[in-house]
Structure 1
Amino acid sequence: MSDQVQLAQALAFLYLTFGHVTDGVLTPEEMRTLAARVHERVPSLPQETIALVLRQIVDLYKTMGSAEQKLAAARDQAHQLRHHVDDATRSAIMGDLVEIAKADGFVSDEELAFIDELSTTLGVQRSH
């Protein structure tokens, strides 16, 4: 499996968990934003590969246990990303999280709290 596919998987899981667990809903707008942001971070992958990665991550996500377990796994992904992507990419990931949160027209307190936590984990300032 290529590094680019692994990056897409890590981002997809982080973004999916963020979009769903923090406010309990993943709207079609959030899913479209999520897919677009993964593709933007990994532009070398064809759209079909991104779609396949997203389906695989959604299937994996559905098999996982509680929201706490999903959040713990997302935190693990964020720790891995901190050590495997550059500063500019980590900053872009924070911007992606903000855009995913805004995609449904409402940013919850839970979303803001998780964004703040991940900004610390990733070692970057939160985007507004």
Structure 2
Amino acid sequence: MKKTLEQSVSGLVFLQGTVNDLQEFLADYFPQFHLVKDRSLGRPASIKDSIMQPFMNVMKTHPEQVTFLRDDFEKFAKDHVKLRVLTGPFKDYEGYIVRIDRDRQLVFDFGGRAVAIRGVHKEDFEVVEE
């Protein structure tokens, strides 16, 4: 038996701009497409540039390190302590260290979707006081 890793989400395109401008652009030029909704907020997903840039860099250089998860981000809060990354490209990201496929990965909220990143567990963390 051989395990094969494949992308878990396809067809996502990330756009930069205000929600209204992007919705108008899509309606005018690509009416068959729409903005993805943030599951927890029920409105179009919006991702801060400070979160998006490191994510895009990893997607360009090491896309195999990123996995879009099917479960809601809130599911990972159970039995895990929320942490903030203090070092590395994902500095200031907040999420949970979760064992997925026998590997400890950082699971964080990315526009209302849970995303796991491999190789981040080696960074320094602090507990997020809520």
Fold shared by both chains (TM-score > 0.5):
no
Larger radius of gyration: 2
TM-score range, shorter chain: under 0.3
Asked which structure has the greater RCO (Cα within 8 Å, sep 6+), the reply is: 1
